[in-house]
């Protein structure tokens, strides 16, 4: 019997002011006004249909992503979170994060979000360079990014995050490090710092820009990692750094193979059952279909052969030691079923093992894809 893991809630707001050329998220350029009230009612109806999957658990975290959730009015956010609380029990100290675009931020609206229950804001800065922001198709400039960060800091929230990208078109080492220095100067408790990747079905995918080569990318990562570490940030996940006590609890639940309900356009969910079954859900991507009440696009049970890969794909993104007993607890499988793969990972220097834990090594972090391939179903 699998023990049910902790539960989170993900809520997707699909609209943006405009679509960025690198973005492959489920976002749609806004045409007219956001249907604030109608969309909130559909979100709550979607939650009602999924509420049985909670199986009596309270949600420890909520993450409101997008798109640009900060396009939602303060009143709509209040109605949304009040509606969630009426349907799903929340932990007393639940972390409630909302993504915000610096180009769609107003001081009054930030305060309204906080009154609604938002206690952590993630700001999509990407860069503090005017030139780079224009190249990325962002609607904000460096001044707006700094202003949004100062607004978040001034609210006295539990925490706030700045999203930054590196490996940008024609980016130099100095430019990448300057972005980090400015983020550090703003005293953000949490930084997401990830490499730009060119995805299919994006504008950059059809017309790729010139990106730094592998040697330049390695220099950026190595120097940036050192800069952040020296400034008191701890890398706890492949692309996430935090000051002590400010790790993102929602992301931790994802990577620890926790469960999550996903509501809203294109939202994904993962739900575990006492008999060991794991169900993955995906909601209708386009707002038009979703707001006709057609919420569920597809769902499937994870095959037993795929569970080891899914578990380790998530768990090994974290740099913390992984308790061995969680493998059986969250997958319903015996560790003996992956013993050959674990032995190979240890022999390759990707993992170390103690009686209670597995720990990814520096070598394993560098060759994460090779490590994970060991657990693919044969």
- Residue 62 resides in a domain: yes
Q: Are residues 225 and 326 in the same domain?
A: no
Helix (H) / strand (E) containing 40: helix 36-50
Contacts of 4 (CB under 8 A, 6+ apart): 55, 57, 259, 272, 273, 274
Q: How far apart are CA 61 and CA 251, in angstroms?
A: 9
Q: Are residues 173 and 38 in the same domain?
A: yes
Residue that is last in its domain, among 211, 233, 253: 253
Q: What is the pLDDT of residue 16?
A: 76
Q: What is the pLDDT of residue 20?
A: 65
Q: What is the pLDDT of residue 285?
A: 94
Q: Digits of tens for pLDDT over the chain (378 positions)?
A: 557 999 999 999 998 766 566 555 666 666 777 899 999 999 999 999 999 999 999 999 999 998 889 899 999 999 999 999 999 999 999 999 999 988 777 778 899 999 999 999 999 999 999 999 888 878 878 999 999 999 999 999 999 999 999 999 999 999 999 999 999 999 999 999 999 887 777 666 667 777 889 999 999 999 999 999 999 999 999 999 999 999 999 999 999 999 999 999 999 999 999 999 999 999 999 999 999 999 999 999 999 999 999 999 999 999 999 999 999 999 999 999 999 999 999 999 999 999 999 999 999 998 999 999 999 986
CATH code (residue 84): 3.20.20.70
- Determine how β-strand 296-301 pairs with β-strand 322-323: unpaired
Q: What is the pLDDT of residue 135?
A: 84
Q: How far apart are the first and last CA of the chain?
A: 25
User: Are residues 310 and 368 in contact, defined by beta-carbon separation less than 8 angstroms?
Assistant: no
- Residue 68 resides in a domain: yes
Q: Are residues 334 and 227 in the same domain?
A: no
- Residue 301 resides in a domain: no
- Residue 192 resides in a domain: yes
**How many beta carbons lie within 10 A of that of residue 139, not counting itself?**
15
| Measured CA distances, 119 to 87, 110, 149, 157, 168 (Å) | 20, 10, 14, 5, 31
DSSP 69: G
Residue that is last in its domain, among 253, 282, 310: 253
pTM for the whole structure: 0.94
Domain containing 233 equals: 7-253
**How many beta carbons lie within 10 A of that of residue 66, not counting itself?**
25
Q: Are residues 51 and 151 in the same domain?
A: yes
For residue 67, is the peptide bond before it cis, meaning its omega torsion is within 30 degrees of 0?
yes
Q: How far apart are CA 346 and CA 354, in angstroms?
A: 11
Q: Are residues 85 and 232 in the same domain?
A: yes
Q: What is the total count of domains within the chain? A: 2
Q: How far apart are CA 328 and CA 331, in angstroms?
A: 5
**Encoding tokens for residue 10?**
């993900």
Q: Are residues 209 and 103 in the same domain?
A: yes
Q: What is the pLDDT of residue 279?
A: 98
Q: What is the pLDDT of residue 18?
A: 66
């Amino acid at each position: 019997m699998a023990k049910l893991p902790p539960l989170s809630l993900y809520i997707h707001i699909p609209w943006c002011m405009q679509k960025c050329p690198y973005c492959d998220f489920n976002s749609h350029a806004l045409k007219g006004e956001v249907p604030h009230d109608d969309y909130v009612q559909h979100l709550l109806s979607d939650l009602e249909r999924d509420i049985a999957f909670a199986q009596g658990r309270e949600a420890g975290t909520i993450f409101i992503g997008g798109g640009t959730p900060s396009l939602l009015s303060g009143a709509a956010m209040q109605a949304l979170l009040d509606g969630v609380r009426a349907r799903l029990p929340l932990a007393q100290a639940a972390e409630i994060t909302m993504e915000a675009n610096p180009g769609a931020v107003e001081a009054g609206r930030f305060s309204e979000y906080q009154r609604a229950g938002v206690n952590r804001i993630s700001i999509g800065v990407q860069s503090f360079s005017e030139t780079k922001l224009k190249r990325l198709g962002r609607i904000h400039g460096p001044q707006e990014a700094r202003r949004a960060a100062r607004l978040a800091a001034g609210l006295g929230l539990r925490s706030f995050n700045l999203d930054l990208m590196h490996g940008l078109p024609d980016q130099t080492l100095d430019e990448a490090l300057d972005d980090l220095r400015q983020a550090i100067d703003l005293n953000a408790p949490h930084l997401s710092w990830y490499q730009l990747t060119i995805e299919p079905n994006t504008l950059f995918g059809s017309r790729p820009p010139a990106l730094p080569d592998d040697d330049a990318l390695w220099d950026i990562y190595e120097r940036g990692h050192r800069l952040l570490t020296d400034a008191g940030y701890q890398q706890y996940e492949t692309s996430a750094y935090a000051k002590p006590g400010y790790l993102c609890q929602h992301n931790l639940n994802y990577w620890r193979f926790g469960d999550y309900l996903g509501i809203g356009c294109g939202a994904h969910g993962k739900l575990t059952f006492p008999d060991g079954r794991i169900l993955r859900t995906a909601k209708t991507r386009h707002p038009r279909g979703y707001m006709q009440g057609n919420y569920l696009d597809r769902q499937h049970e994870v095959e037993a052969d795929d569970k080891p890969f899914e578990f380790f794909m998530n768990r090994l993104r974290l740099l913390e030691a992984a308790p061995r007993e969680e493998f059986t607890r969250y997958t319903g499988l015996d560790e003996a079923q992956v013993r050959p793969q674990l032995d190979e990972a240890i022999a390759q220097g990707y993992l170390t093992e103690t009686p209670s834990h597995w720990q990814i090594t520096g070598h394993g972090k560098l060759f994460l894809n090779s490590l994970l391939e060991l657990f693919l179903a044969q």
